[in-house]
């Protein structure tokens, strides 16, 4: 995109929820391209999913380790965004993923939420894609979905190549 010819008021704040997956990576790349063209700020948000931690199984430890992963993941994202010459903000929140993403989007008045979708096959797509699906269905802000490169296929190819060796 050429940054010269833009309606720069269209996107000012772009939110990219991340979980460190290939889908989130693809979403971040798209967000950087848009932010470059529209002179926007990219927010990288990691949600430490409290539904994955039960009180009886060391709740505090698990949430803390999620938060640590979140700090690292969003720091990597900020490096990538700033490396492209775009302003970046990182945030780590605790809660239910889709609800927390919507709350954060409202809090920072996001003009666009960019999220990854996964490959077309397998259980992984069903489970991990469900947060994106919920956000698409319920967000007030426009949601841009980006499909991750077909990593299942690549993995399948590698597996086949490995079997031949």
93/125 with CB nearer other proteins: 125
Q: Smallest distance from the beta carbon of 61 to other proteins, in angstroms?
A: 33
User: Alpha-carbon dihedral of residues 9, 10, 12, 15, nearest 10 degrees?
Assistant: 180
* Residue closest to 145 by CA, chosen among 137, 157, 156: 137
- 131, 118 Cβ separation under 8 angstroms: no
Q: Smallest distance from the beta carbon of 21 to other proteins, in angstroms?
A: 16
Between helices 97-107 and 122-138, what is the axis angle to 10°? 40
Dist CA 29 CA 18 (whole Å)? 12
User: Residue 15 has which token pair?
Assistant: 């939110």
- 73, 21 Cβ separation under 8 angstroms: no
21/94 with CB nearer other proteins: 21
54/127 with CB nearer other proteins: 127
145 in contact with other proteins (CB under 8 A): yes
Residues 93-132 within binding reach of other proteins (CB under 8 A): 112, 117, 132
6 in contact with other proteins (CB under 8 A): yes
Q: Mask 7-36, x = binds other proteins (CB under 8 A)?
A: x--x-------------------x--x---
Residues at the interface with other proteins (CB under 8 A): 1-2, 5-7, 10, 30, 33, 37-38, 112, 117, 132-133, 136-147
């Amino acid at each position: 995109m050429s940054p010269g010819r833009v309606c720069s008021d269209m996107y000012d704040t772009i939110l990219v929820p991340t979980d460190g997956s290939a889908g989130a990576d693809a979403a971040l790349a798209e967000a950087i391209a848009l932010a470059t063209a529209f002179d926007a700020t990219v927010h990288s948000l990691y949600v430490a999913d409290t539904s994955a931690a039960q009180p009886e199984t060391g709740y505090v430890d698990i949430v803390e380790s999620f938060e640590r992963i979140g700090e690292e993941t969003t720091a990597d994202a900020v490096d990538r965004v700033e490396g492209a010459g775009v302003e970046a903000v990182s945030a780590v929140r605790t809660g239910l993923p889709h609800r927390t993403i919507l709350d954060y989007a409202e809090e920072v008045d996001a003009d666009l939420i960019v999220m990854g979708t996964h490959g077309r096959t397998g259980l992984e797509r069903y489970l991990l894609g469900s947060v994106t699906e919920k956000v698409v269905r319920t967000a007030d802000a426009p949601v841009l979905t980006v499909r991750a490169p077909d990593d299942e296929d690549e993995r399948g190819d590698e597996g086949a190549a490995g079997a031949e060796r």
